[in-house]
Structure 1
């Protein structure tokens, strides 16, 4: 009976204490707070939120210091047993000690490594960086430390009692939420992925013997920096606190010239040559030699265009040219690069035979003598007249230039796809032709009867048409008008001295006519007019029509 009474007394005292705790509870700020059923269900986290302000500073230590100054707990208050922040047990630690322990834990995690790899780039070493260098941080550390310190020490008796009982049953763990600085990651990727990228290697085509040598091409890899940065950010968002490997986002970048493509260049699909005189030691020969050097070994991939003017210009001594005769203003003159247009005409005819697309072509101002009328081509200094070729095939084109003894030519290499029984013919005809005659100018500086030839050849005013004929097994299948050209007239040009003064008439006529044909006439009646003397043309005289100058510069 006494035991029952004692037990009843204990229960009454406990109930009294609980009721008292429910009625009033002294808040941590010293004010009296009205209690109620709501307070009994308040979670420890809500209490911590009341005592710990939102972390507004970037330094968690400073944030913790501010929170402790507002808390009724002293600096020596320790954390209850069984409390962890992330993987760090902070039981029995003060708030400052717990903060130091968590920060040390963060520093250790920051030494974990991010490895950035590039799939398919076996020769490129992966990039490794400590995760701390990517701006690793954990939000709300000071809040977690304050919550750990106040756990079991705040709230009414029931809340505190419940917290202690929970800790006896299981540990309390606060998980850190990790993040990284996105701008830092983007900067890292932009700077570092250049080391991962692999530039494609083009195949090279080199003329050798009767054919070509082709080097091996290599694919490249292009890194997408933006997508790669997003992959890193995503991988560290749900980080397991271990080393991380991320594959850079990349795509294969093919070379513009592959070995397979260049290996198609095997056949001569068009060739043409023209003759020249004077040898390579003459101004014209030197210009042709320079032009051949500048227009040899030209590789055109499908869809590419090539300007002959751009390849040859500027026409200057510094670029290897000499002076030679060139067409100019209805005549000709000495000019750097004179005669270079013979290369344009030669290549144009080779392109016709290859059936290559000629995207730009201009005829000379006057006819030339080394190819059919209407089948010539010219360029000039300014580039307003140019020969431009465009590769409209699905295989590469290789242009080879050569200079022999008295001959200059071009070969166009590619892949022969035309039937062997299909042949071509190109020719030009005059539609109109009017002789320009001779232009004689009296030059008072010359002696009477003296003559100087400034332009030995005359050039007719003409209209010409060029045609292409296609034959299969020798039978004409199609005749195509290529173009109609007009040429200006330029007469032969001569300067002569003024006529000699007339001879005085005799004072008396002979009284008797000669009796025989053999009789010598008198001096006055038999003097024949003086024949004019012809002065040889100066060194600048134009060549004969078969060797007409060609440069339009």
Structure 2
């Protein structure tokens, strides 16, 4: 009896011990802090590694790979161009912690029995967790900006030159710039392959082409005025301001300001003293004579049928053009502004011949079937008045001129469009009033009549 009980107790204890050993084995197997056998990250076996050790292991292996990984960027437009882009320069790296956490969770979900079965099956069916890479898109942009600067090809406009008789035109040059958006997409999609890639380009069309300049084929208008009686300062100013327009090309739709083109009329810019009109009086000043240049240009613009946006008459009608066809300019106050309202460029040339300033405007004369003429109509002549101001301090009978007078005029100016010698259109382009000015005299008191004296012997 005692022997049987002893055997039973021994058996029971053995069973309990075996159960405890099995339990601790299974518990250690299931709840170990290490990875289960058969679990890989990026093909690397991690069994018997802790999470911290696994991260260091992966970093050590992958950092060497990253150092050697790069892509080559080439250009079909430039065979000598080769841009090496290392992945490390893009902030390229892997999310080691995330992959390690995911690998460590393998076999740690589900019931006790399910986990045990899954873990035992890992030897036959191992699990591999892929490392996920990342990079900094902003660093890609920096490299693309650098590539763009290296490969930028500036477009060049066609050029137009005039030798006084013929026009000479050079071809335009198409430019190219890197398509940054497309190149970035190509780089990002190539990070996993690291193939050679070719830079995508966008064409840059020049603004001005030879085809456009070919429309400048003849003279549209010419006008001239004489300055033979002018002093040296005035002559200098006329020549200087006229040269500001020599060779000027005005594109379709472009607006031109006389004042901006000539620049500030100052001694620093070469202008000299010459009489200018201020408040209806000729007064010494810098830049006198430039109004003759603006007037000559104005008449040429009218004959060329260009659009006038701003024009002002003088207060005194100048002698070098008919009344109503002058154009005054003065500092920032008065300007002559015009627009090229045609679909072709115009070319302006100027010449000074025998103290005469000439303006020429060239354009698509081959396709113009009309001519322009300018006419003026004197609407009214307003006679000056004579005003006398008494000055008792003067000697009786004295008469001194204080202000010279002149007649005033009201003038209408018309533009006539003529086809085959017939006027098909008449347009009023301005109504000008040149204000009259009184003659003013100061006079002394009237002389007293001699008194009659009776003489007697």
TM beyond 0.5: yes
From 457, 462, 465, the counterpart of 2:412: 465
Aligned to 1:113: 70
**Correspondences of 1:232-243 after superposition (within 5 Å):** 232-233=187-188, 235=189, 239-243=191-195
Report the Cα distance in structure 1 between the residues aligned to 2:74 and 2:448, rounded to whole angstroms.
Answer: 104
Report the Cα distance in structure 2 between the residues aligned to 1:399 and 1:124, rounded to whole angstroms.
Answer: 44
User: SS at the partner of 2:216?
Assistant: coil
- Asked if residue 254 in structure 1 is aligned to residue 205 in structure 2, the reply is yes
Alpha-carbon deviations, 1:30-53, whole Å to 9, x = none? 7xxxxxxxxxxxxx9xx8xxx8xx
How far apart are 1:215 and its partner, in Å? 3.0
How far apart are 1:252 and its partner, in Å? 2.5
Report the Cα distance in structure 2 between the residues aligned to 1:423 and 1:153, rounded to whole angstroms.
Answer: 96
Aligned to 2:163: 208
How far apart are 1:188 and its partner, in Å? 3.7
How far apart are 1:100 and its partner, in Å? 4.9
From 85, 88, 96, the counterpart of 2:41: 85
Aligned to 2:352: 403
Alpha-carbon deviations, 1:80-127, whole Å to 9, x = none? 4x76532x54478855775455333344245322345567x5488354
- Asked if residue 134 in structure 1 is aligned to residue 90 in structure 2, the reply is yes
Aligned to 2:288: 338
The 1:265/1:445 distance shift into structure 2, 3 A limit, reads farther
In the alignment, structure 2 segments of 5+ residues that lack a partner are: 1-14
Aligned to 1:378: 328
From 290, 297, 301, the counterpart of 2:240: 290
User: SS at the partner of 2:309?
Assistant: strand
Judge conservation of contact 1:268–1:412 (CA < 8 Å) in 2: yes
Whose Rg is larger? 1
**Correspondences of 1:71-470 after superposition (within 5 Å):** 72-73=33-34, 80=37, 84-86=40-42, 88-90=43-45, 94=49, 99-100=55-56, 102-103=58-59, 104-116=61-73, 121-122=77-78, 125=81, 127-139=83-95, 141-142=96-97, 144-145=99-100, 159=115, 162-163=118-119, 165-168=121-124, 172-190=127-145, 192-223=147-178, 225=180, 228-233=183-188, 235=189, 239-243=191-195, 245=197, 247-248=199-200, 251-278=202-229, 282-382=232-332, 384-420=333-369, 422-436=370-384, 459-470=406-417
Aligned to 1:56: none
Judge conservation of contact 1:79–1:90 (CA < 8 Å) in 2: no
- Cα root mean square deviation, aligned: 4.2
User: SS at the partner of 2:313?
Assistant: coil
The 1:419/1:397 distance shift into structure 2, 3 A limit, reads closer
Alpha-carbon deviations, 1:9-66, whole Å to 9, x = none? xxxxxxx99x979x967786x7xxxxxxxxxxxxx9xx8xxx8xxxxxxxxxxxxxxx
- Asked if residue 486 in structure 1 is aligned to residue 433 in structure 2, the reply is yes
User: SS at the partner of 2:123?
Assistant: helix
Report the Cα distance in structure 2 between the residues aligned to 1:259 and 1:293, rounded to whole angstroms.
Answer: 26
Report the Cα distance in structure 1 between the residues aligned to 2:232 and 2:263, rounded to whole angstroms.
Answer: 20
Report the Cα distance in structure 1 between the residues aligned to 2:65 and 2:343, rounded to whole angstroms.
Answer: 60
The 1:297/1:452 distance shift into structure 2, 3 A limit, reads farther
Report the Cα distance in structure 2 between the residues aligned to 1:499 and 1:295, rounded to whole angstroms.
Answer: 58
The 1:127/1:264 distance shift into structure 2, 3 A limit, reads farther
The 1:147/1:213 distance shift into structure 2, 3 A limit, reads same
Aligned to 2:7: none
The 1:161/1:357 distance shift into structure 2, 3 A limit, reads same
Judge conservation of contact 1:358–1:388 (CA < 8 Å) in 2: yes
